[in-house]
Amino acid sequence: MKKIYLFTILALLCALNMPAQQPFTFVHVSDLHVSTVTSSVNQCDLNGVEAKCYLHTFNNMNPKPAFILATGDISNIGNSSAVSGGMYTALTQYLYPQNLLNPGIGALHIDSAMTIPFYFAPGNHDYYTTLLPPGTLTQLNTLPNYSKYIGPDSDYAVTTPISVILFVRSGWDISYLISIDPKASGLTDAQCAWIRTELAQNAGKRKIIVMHHPASNFTGTNCDSSAHGAIANDSTATMYVNRNTFLNICDSNHVDVVLAGHSHQNVVVDRTGTQVNDNCTTCGTRFVQTGPAFAGCYRTIRVDSSFVTVSPNMQSCPNTTAVQDVDFELNMSVYPDPSTGIFNMNLGQTLPVKMKIFNVLGECVHQQYSNSSKIQIDLQSQPPGLYFMQLVIEQDVPVIYNYKYPLVISR
């Protein structure tokens, strides 16, 4: 287990001229499945085309996210050789510093200025040597290629003045060999002891745990909000060893959220597998799943000293080709933010814009159309809280830029 202390986050906050105690927002993605060969068994992001698109979206957020984190299945076949795939290079070609081998924790960034680090936790696909139908897959229980291209094969903690985020390896596939319920090998006793220690040492902070497999499960939705396939019960697609121990650790240490993926769906549940509001304040630890990045799913997470706010499912790049062909940079600013309800937006140029504002429940609370460089958004009728603006810019092709931006109403 490793620990990364305040240095990276504090340096970022200083670069953005933000006081260290201020709230911050980061982006959660999962199941990137980048690949350099086509897979007939599992969906993949061939040559990182989708990755290029959503990294473009994240880079153009304003304000910038503090960091990006990915909860596993970074590669479609992580332990394949370079000759048969070289899977991670489909993503790392877009990260900085480029061509970095054996990167340390937080060494990779999504921007050339290297102010937005990318943190990773491995998933079951990262252990694969081949990807064949269930019962015939082959895998290792170590991560040689992941360590070479993505980060160390270890658990670690990222701490800030107001939060601690634990990145935990939930293991490799074990039940694919004996059932259709794809459970992970789970957590060792040493991992559980480390989690307890880290949480106890950060008792007064917001607590977030990041892992690939959900510790509790329920049927959710796909990236396009359609119904996902049935999940049998709260332990489906979770982990074998120390699952209940982990749930008890979350309870006793008042963990805010556990961020995961694996099931390729969007859903938030409590420890019993009961679906709850994304931002329920009385449900104990929220177990949050974010749908697959290979389909454009992501969430934004806002952390302040009193709460961790989870956005609804967001979807970047619905028209990947069009976004890749965009021939202008959006130099957008929104001010003031936070505000009491009136936001002024300057696009930097006159553009036809369709805008929708969503609350944290995913409900559209405001929409408007403009063909101006300067736009005023009136949300005075809405209660204080976190909102998300979806900005769609149209020119000669139907949709060339799909942009999402967090707004905060504070009174």
> Quick check: do 2-315 and 320-409 share a fold?
no
Residue 9 has pLDDT above 60, yes or no: no
Residue 18 has pLDDT above 50, yes or no: no
With CA atoms as reference, report the closest residue to 44 among 264, 238, 210, 237: 264
With CA atoms as reference, report the closest residue to 212 among 290, 98, 99, 95: 290
pLDDT recorded at residue 278: 94
Instruction: Take residue 193 and report the two structure tokens written for it.
Output: 């002891």
254 Rama sector, left if φ>0, alpha if ψ -120 to 50, beta otherwise: left
Q: Domain residues of the chain, as ranges? A: 2-315, 320-409
pLDDT recorded at residue 39: 64
CB atoms within 10 A of CB 344: 14
pLDDT digits (tens, 9 = 90+) for 284-295: 999 999 999 998
Beta-strand ranges (E) seen in 133-205 are: 138-139, 156-160, 163-167, 184-186
Instruction: Take residue 124 and report the two structure tokens written for it.
Output: 């079951």
pLDDT digits (tens, 9 = 90+) for 30-85: 999 998 876 656 678 888 888 988 898 898 887 899 999 999 999 988 988 655 55
Cis peptide before 336 (omega within 30 of 0): yes
CA dist., res. 31 & res. 63, Å (int): 25
CA dist., res. 74 & res. 127, Å (int): 10
Q: Are 155 and 169 in contact (CB under 8 A)?
A: yes
CB atoms within 10 A of CB 90: 27
CA dist., res. 13 & res. 57, Å (int): 21
pLDDT digits (tens, 9 = 90+) for 223-257: 877 888 778 889 989 999 999 999 999 999 999 99
Residue 11 has pLDDT above 90, yes or no: no
Fold for the domain defined by 2-315: Purple Acid Phosphatase; chain A, domain 2 (3.60.21)
CA dist., res. 201 & res. 407, Å (int): 32
Considering the domain delimited by 320-409, tell me its CATH architecture: Sandwich (2.60)
Question: Bigger pLDDT: 215 or 183?
Answer: 215
Beta-strand ranges (E) seen in 84-200 are: 118-121, 128-130, 138-139, 156-160, 163-167, 184-186
At 324, the pLDDT band (50, 70, 90 cuts) reads: very low
CB atoms within 10 A of CB 290: 30
Q: CA-based angle 102:159:161, to the nearest 5? A: 145
Q: What DSSP letter does each residue of 233-273 carry, written as one string?
A: STTTTSEEETHHHHHHHHHHTT--EEEE-SSSSBEEE-TTS
pLDDT recorded at residue 8: 47
pLDDT, averaged across the chain: 85
